[in-house]
Structure 1
């Protein structure tokens, strides 16, 4: 069965679902997604270069992992699931940092990305094993060096990452000290899923 994404209105309410392969085009509807930033104990961030066969921003360097929750799936569960699939990372927690981040970006060929995209921080103590279906390359970079490069526009990075980094930097210079945002600040479409137990009961 084809993977579905959750469509949302401008207030963050779920208004339906659509096949993932059908929503990314020149009139991409707003839909629910996530971004995650993986850190080690030395405050290095894990960067990934998107696979060159991807529809949106192929071959572009970006943050650790992005994706879409399945209908009814809590966002933090989606983060953990995709980190395992894309990077072979086993984690047990994802901390909410930017609950209501939203962006719209247009590729040179006209394809649009339009997402309500809460941002998460994840801590790991193991190496990543990239899945070539999703990721061409990974590298670790000290957060300050990375943030300074993005803020100065000297570092080429995905458009959503370019918008997220200044907001994350406002949380403090050391990502290990960032205080998670309250779950209640998530948009309604994500908040309803977050309230559900992992077993769905």
Structure 2
């Protein structure tokens, strides 16, 4: 397997190059393309995960279902499906829908060790049937649990939540229950990222 690369962005969210992912996250992480995904089942529960304790950046924090970095030339939909499979064992055929809900989301956060995340990070909802099983990849995910929306909202006030989770929930909470989040469409996605 080759070296995983991230897509570097300028201030207009246009691709300006690539860089190896493993070497790019440090105290001066360049602005780059990413995504977050919230898996919601047909009963309205949300899959919340704890990042593996061995992760280089933000180990052990609790956050949404999965996140990742679209590779060069990879669309958002393909990147989400790839990471859902690799991190959680969710197969394409188990997904009822993928919906962009916060296509304009971006953030910058600094970990306790000084490592910076600086991402244009569209947020997507993946809908699955109730009872869908998850097989967490322990290199990526320490724990994966189905939570009620109230439990998700309560996590915002806990220090073990990720900084991007807290920022995303500030925008997602006003949209109502996760099953009701409106489709924001693909037009607001960054120029560097197709659907």
Q: TM-score, normalised by structure 2?
A: 0.93
Partner of 2:182: 179
1:120-157 deviation digits (Å, cap 9, x = unpaired): 0011121111011111111111012311442xx14631
TM-superposed deviation, 1:55: 0.5
Aligned equivalent of 2:165, options 161, 166, 174: 161
- Name segments (4+ residues, structure 1) moved above 6 Å: none
Partner of 1:197: none
Q: Which runs of 5+ in 1 are unaligned?
A: 195-201
SS at match of 1:109: coil
TM-superposed deviation, 1:116: 0.5
1:41-71 deviation digits (Å, cap 9, x = unpaired): 1111101111111011111111100000011
Partner of 2:84: 83
Cα distance in structure 1, aligned partners of 2:163 and 2:117: 10
Cα distance in structure 2, aligned partners of 1:23 and 1:156: 24
Cα distance in structure 1, aligned partners of 2:126 and 2:159: 22
Partner of 2:153: 147
Aligned equivalent of 2:127, options 114, 123, 129: 123
Cα distance in structure 2, aligned partners of 1:142 and 1:30: 33
Structure 1, 138-147 or 47-56: larger mean CA deviation: 138-147
Structure 1 residues 175 and 155, CA gap change in structure 2 (3 angstroms): farther
Give me the CA root mean square deviation. Answer: 1.2
Cα distance in structure 1, aligned partners of 2:121 and 2:58: 16
Q: 1:107 and 2:111 equivalent?
A: yes
Q: TM-score, normalised by structure 1?
A: 0.90
Partner of 2:140: 134
